Amino acid sequence: MQVRQLSEDVINRIAAGEVVERPASVAKELIENAVDAGATSIEVVTAGGGKTLLRVSDNGLGMRKEDLHLAVRRHCTSKITEDDLFDIRTLGFRGEALPSIGSVARLSIQTRHQDEPHAWAVTIEGGAEQPIAPAARKKGTVVEVRDLFFATPARLKFLKSDRAEASAITEIVRRIALAYPEIGFSLSGADRQPQTWAPAGPEGRLARISQILGKDFVDNAMEIDAEREGVRLTGFAGLPTYNRGNAQQQFFFVNGRPVKDKLLLSGLRGAYADVLARDRHPVVVLFIDLEPALVDVNVHPAKADVRFRDGQLVRGLLVGSIKQGLVTSGHRSSTSNAAVAMEAIRATGFTGPASAPRPAAAYAPPRYERQSGFSARDFAPVPAATGFSETPATSAPHLHQPAIASVIEPSADARAFGEASQEDTATRLPLGAARAQIHETYLIAQTEDGMVIVDQHAAHERLVYERLKESLAQKAVARQLLLIPEVIDLPEEDVARLAERAGDLEAVGLVLEPFGPGAIAVRETPAMLGEIDIQGLVRDLADELAEWETAETLKERLDHVAATMACHGSVRAGRRMRPEEMNALLRDMEATPLSGQCNHGRPTWVELKLNDIERLFGRK
């Protein structure tokens, strides 16, 4: 076949397939241009999910006539020069967005530079450019895109519903707004409720995060601030007990650029592996700042993927910083757990004293009739079923009448009989002083401003698990020598990846080495795992190295064994605990990192503030 030069229009449409995937892609490119232009206010208007109309207005620098003429041509940009492709400090730089959009939609641009006497406008429809003409506009730029993909109708069939496309645009605006709190954003249109994010004040980033993710996230997040070898990581990571069912609330930014990078997602998964169930996802807003020469953002025209020069350094910084934050957070648990508990109480039908009173005629005092064998002794005080030898404090006689005999007594009574000063000291501690055990499963503790409910099995399971992990870290993992080495056939690239990580795998008890060009020989395995499917384990490790460039599968299996041992070796639900055991458990939780959640990511304790309890009973 004869080789021929494609026309400029066809070239632009091919490029549009990479740059303009959907309306959200167009919004991303136009908003990034506005940010690069130094705008302090950006307005986005949509209709029909961005397919019918997408307009982005800003108050940035604007363009002169000659700049506008070049801006709608491919690979024309003001953001880089010939020799600084590895020193990119702007969001855009390729010079492909505007001509690509103009080749598949009706594109119009009005812009005014401060040095120009008036604005200039240009229109492009399906790649056909109209002459530049004068226009009336204040300083800044407005870019309007109508009838997206009208020039390529086949692309319209692959778009989702208007609501789904509008939601994707919202997500793009939210991500960029998180990265630039000093810029005000507004999002409106016929297909949505208007949203506005005003420029953040002195609090800056934290205020913008609160605007977008809500105050709940700020209240349940750890601040991250770490630096290593010129790479700085800042932001906020949610507590393990504050999690979601998908990864939509994970925001990563590299030098101010929103990215979705496999290396970062892998590091996040590794950081939370110990404290979160596999089907739950943490909420994070994290910013990575480093020299532009240390990261390549020119991986794909969409600029959502990046490549770090030292990926393992970045991943190690991410994992280590979050784990350190989790340790520093100690026994903290999500404040949303209390809100969930209060909602559950209300959902049972409890309406409190604020509910409408019943009519007087609907109430009649109860009548007590003498039953056979009934005597005054039935009103005598009944000792509390504590299971302890201590004499409980005398209760009011009327609390033990048969009329309320159905009220369940506490499984154990932890009321103190010591000095009042000791009690005051205990209630001032974070998890308070133990007061009772109910259903032989939950501990009730009193704090200065509320009460704490503890799941005794989940809490003790975490304590035992942390001790087991500490023990494993202090001494080498015991290995079991195979009488006959297990030889596993693998593709050469998998063999190379495993051989490269042989030292890391040996540290966790797996000794292997290449056995020819297409096989691996396993000589020793971790003794903790007992009888295992060695071939399955090695293949899983090879797949993980290929996808995530990490080998966490083996460590996860070791941690799973330790977690199982902790589960079987901890205090079981149904075991009655003595008061000193209850208080000892509370003090251990306060001193143990990650004790706010069990090994499966569930909360180990919930706190109800006194104000919340008083509202339930209409006292406030």
Q: Where are the beta strands (DSSP E) in 349-441?
A: 412-413, 433-438
Mean pLDDT of 256-283: 88
Write the pLDDT tens digit of every residue in 442-475: 999 999 989 999 999 989 988 888 887 787 777 7
d(CA 203, CA 29): 28
Average pLDDT of the residues of the chain:
81
d(CA 129, CA 102): 8
Rg (CA), the chain: 32
Q: Write down the pLDDT at residue 144.
A: 97
Tell me, what amino acid is at 214?
G
Q: In the chain, count of helices (H) and strands (E)?
A: 19, 26
Q: Which two tokens stand for residue 523?
A: 């000589």
- Nearest residue to 475 via CA among 450, 442, 439, 507: 507
Mean pLDDT of 321-334: 79
d(CA 505, CA 551): 8
Helical residues (DSSP H) of 475-618, grouped into ranges: 492-500, 502-507, 534-548, 553-568, 579-591, 610-616
- Nearest residue to 560 via CA among 534, 526, 510, 591: 526
3-state helix, strand, coil in the chain (%, to 5): 40, 20, 40
Kindly tell me if the per-residue pLDDT of 322 is higher than 60: yes
Mean pLDDT of 194-219: 88
CA angle 553, 554, 558 (to 5 degrees): 115
Mean pLDDT of 477-484: 87
Q: Around Cβ 361, how many Cβ atoms within 10 Å? A: 6
Kindly tell me if the per-residue pLDDT of 120 is higher than 50: yes
Q: Write down the pLDDT at residue 556.
A: 67
Could you give all domains of the chain from N- to C-terminal order, each with its CATH number?
Answer: 8-197 (3.30.565.10), 214-329 (3.30.230.10), 412-620 (3.30.1540.20)
Kindly tell me if the per-residue pLDDT of 194 is higher than 80: yes
Instruction: Give the Å distances, CA to CA, from 583 to 338, 429, 590.
Output: 22, 11, 11
Tell me, what amino acid is at 467?
R
More confident residue, 168 or 84: 168
Tell me, what amino acid is at 120?
W
More confident residue, 536 or 332: 536
Q: Write down the pLDDT at residue 275.
A: 85
Helix (H, G, I), strand (E, B) or coil at 469: helix
Q: Are 510 and 554 in contact (CB under 8 A)?
A: yes
Helix (H, G, I), strand (E, B) or coil at 551: coil
Element at 143 (helix H, strand E): strand 140-146
Write the pLDDT tens digit of every residue in 27-47: 999 999 999 999 999 999 999
Q: What is the DSSP-derived secondary structure letter of residue 603? A: B
Kindly tell me if the per-residue pLDDT of 201 is higher than 80: no
Q: Which two tokens stand for residue 457?
A: 């099995």
Q: Are 19 and 29 in contact (CB under 8 A)?
A: yes
Kindly tell me if the per-residue pLDDT of 577 is higher than 80: yes
Q: Are 122 and 72 in contact (CB under 8 A)?
A: yes
Write the pLDDT tens digit of every residue in 385-438: 333 333 344 444 444 444 434 444 555 655 544 444 555 677 888 899 999 999
Report the range of poorest mean pLDDT among 12-21, 471-480, 603-612.
12-21
**Structure confidence at residue 550 as a pLDDT band (50, 70, 90):** low
- Nearest residue to 446 via CA among 315, 563, 228, 613: 613
Q: Which two tokens stand for residue 605?
A: 């304790």
Element at 526 (helix H, strand E): strand 519-526
Helix axes 23-36, 97-104, angle to 10 degrees: 140
More confident residue, 331 or 114: 114
What is the share, in percent, of the chain residues with pLDDT greater than 90? 41
Q: Which two tokens stand for residue 285?
A: 């807003």
**Structure confidence at residue 310 as a pLDDT band (50, 70, 90):** very high
**pTM of the predicted structure, to 2 decimals:** 0.72
More confident residue, 492 or 345: 492
More confident residue, 19 or 47: 47
Kindly tell me if the per-residue pLDDT of 360 is higher than 80: no
**Structure confidence at residue 375 as a pLDDT band (50, 70, 90):** very low
Helical residues (DSSP H) of 187-296, grouped into ranges: 205-213, 215-219, 262-272
Q: Are 317 and 224 in contact (CB under 8 A)?
A: no
Kindly tell me if the per-residue pLDDT of 354 is higher than 60: no
**Structure confidence at residue 347 as a pLDDT band (50, 70, 90):** low
Q: Are 169 and 50 in contact (CB under 8 A)?
A: yes
Kindly tell me if the per-residue pLDDT of 552 is higher than 70: no
More confident residue, 421 or 120: 120
Q: Write down the pLDDT at residue 55.
A: 97
Residue carrying structure tokens 């693998």: 490
d(CA 461, CA 598): 7
CA angle 211, 61, 42 (to 5 degrees): 25
Kindly tell me if the per-residue pLDDT of 374 is higher than 70: no
